[in-house]
Amino acid sequence: MRSYKIVPSILSADHGKLVEEALQVHLPGIDHLHVDIMDGHFVPNLTFGPQVVASLKQHTPFRLDVHLMIEAVDDYIPQFAAAGADILTIHQEATPHLHRSLHLIREQGIKAGVSLNPATPLETLHWVLTEVDLVLIMSVDPGFGGQKFIRATLEKIRRLVQWRKERRLKFIIEVDGGITEQTAPLAYEAGAEYLVAGNAVFGHPDRVAAVHRIQRAIDEHQARRRTIIT
């Protein structure tokens, strides 16, 4: 079975005790934490700055998967890298000089990710796919947790898997938005390797059970598929 990671998003956690909340999902196989940075311009919501990223880095053992939903990215990339981001993902729609911004991330010695909103064609990434370590396919319009998964995204993931194979590239495929016990198996089957889950984890009082339910849903779905095929 192809491996995958559930990446909990602390957007849906209690922001008054982020470190404590994050530590609750420090489980076997959960080694990345997704941190959503919103500026109130690119998306209609505000969240955290580099200081929060630095605190999470200092007080938790996770690799930090930092999702920048902000404009003027070049002004902030060095700050988020210095704060401890391990992966820094920027939006194709948020910067006119995507190639330059991706290089700026890699110059900081960390992984560079690029993200696409649901309405943005995959083709917009054609000329930068060689420059990225991760492609984040948004399966909701970014800005808020707890939204409904947009199913058309599955086809986008499948096509991206195909492109990666044809061009012999190696980036990670991540999906973000509306991942639940119901949608996680579909995103996994389409080809997503990192599955971000906010509300489906931190929206439940027992976070450990919530993570296990998503993992079990993927594993059981795969087992059923194998039985049908063999």
Q: Which two tokens stand for residue 112?
A: 């560079």
Instruction: Output 44 or 167, the one with its CB closest to ligand DX5.
Output: 44
Instruction: Output 1 or 44, the one with its CB closest to Zn ion.
Output: 44
d(CA 186, CA 191): 9
State the burial class of residue 230 (Cβ atoms within 10 Å of its Cβ: 0-12, 13-18, 19+): exposed
Residues that bind Zn ion (CB under 5 A): 36, 67, 176
* Partner touching 147 among ligand DX5, Zn ion, none, CB below 5 to 8 Å by kind: ligand DX5
Q: DSSP E strands: which ranges in the chain?
A: 5-8, 32-38, 63-69, 87-91, 111-116, 134-138, 172-176, 194-197
Out of 36, 39, 65, 133, the active site residue is 36
Instruction: Write b or e for each residue in 72-85: b if 16 or more Cβ atoms lie within 10 A of its Cβ, otherwise e.
Output: ebeebbeebbebbb
Instruction: Output 103 or 141, the one with its CB closest to ligand DX5.
Output: 141
Residues that bind ligand DX5 (CB under 6 A): 9, 11-12, 34, 36, 67, 140, 142-147, 176-179, 196-200
Residue number closest to ligand DX5, CB atom: 198
* Partner touching 199 among ligand DX5, Zn ion, none, CB below 5 to 8 Å by kind: ligand DX5
Q: Which run of H or E residues covers position 216?
A: helix 207-229
* Partner touching 179 among ligand DX5, Zn ion, none, CB below 5 to 8 Å by kind: ligand DX5
State yes or no: is 176 an active-site residue: yes
d(CA 195, CA 185): 10
Least distance from ligand DX5 to the Cβ atom of residue 8, Å: 9
Least distance from ligand DX5 to the Cβ atom of residue 72, Å: 18
Least distance from Zn ion to the Cβ atom of residue 36, Å: 4
Least distance from ligand DX5 to the Cβ atom of residue 9, Å: 3
d(CA 148, CA 96): 29
Q: Which two tokens stand for residue 78?
A: 């060095």
* Partner touching 156 among ligand DX5, Zn ion, none, CB below 5 to 8 Å by kind: none
- Catalytic residue ranges: 36, 176
